[in-house]
Amino acid sequence: MPAIGPGYDDPEYDNYDPDWKHQDTPFRRWLHDRLTAAGSRCAADIAATYAPANRYNGLHSDDMDTLATLTGTSIDDVRSAQKADLAHWAREQQLRDHPDLAVLNADLDRLRRRS
C-alpha cells in the first residue's frame, strides 16, 4: 500500500532532520522541566512531540495554549521558550554553514568566561 502524504524526499520535508525526535534542545528541556514540575507523567513524550514540531512546523496558537495549560505557565512563557529555541537553532545553522564561526564562537565564549 502506498504511503499517504509526502515522502521524506519531497520538497515539503526540506531541512527535516529525523534526529529532532531525540535531539536535546532548549525548548525540549524547558518543556520537560515545566511538565515534570506540573506533575505530568508523560513529560518526555509530550516534549518529544512538541520540540521537533516547534523547529519544523512552528507552534500554532492552539499548541501554545495547550502547552501553557499543561505546564502551568502563560502563553507568553511558552512563546518566549519557543522563540529562544528558534534563535538557538538559527545560531546552530549559522555555525554549520560557516564552520569558521565555530572557532570564533569558542574564542568569544572563552573571553566571556574570563570576564
Q: DSSP class of residue 103?
A: H
- pLDDT in 10s for each residue of the chain, 115 residues: 344 444 555 555 555 566 666 778 899 999 999 999 999 999 999 998 899 888 878 899 999 999 999 999 999 999 999 999 999 888 877 777 776 776 777 777 777 787 6
pLDDT at 19: 65
User: What is the pTM for the complete model shown?
Assistant: 0.69
User: How many Å apart are CA 69 and CA 61, to the nearest integer?
Assistant: 12
- Nearest of 64, 65, 73 to residue 37 by alpha carbon: 73
Contact yes or no for 36/43 (Cβ under 8 A): yes
User: How many Å apart are CA 84 and CA 78, to the nearest integer?
Assistant: 10
User: How many Å apart are CA 106 and CA 88, to the nearest integer?
Assistant: 15
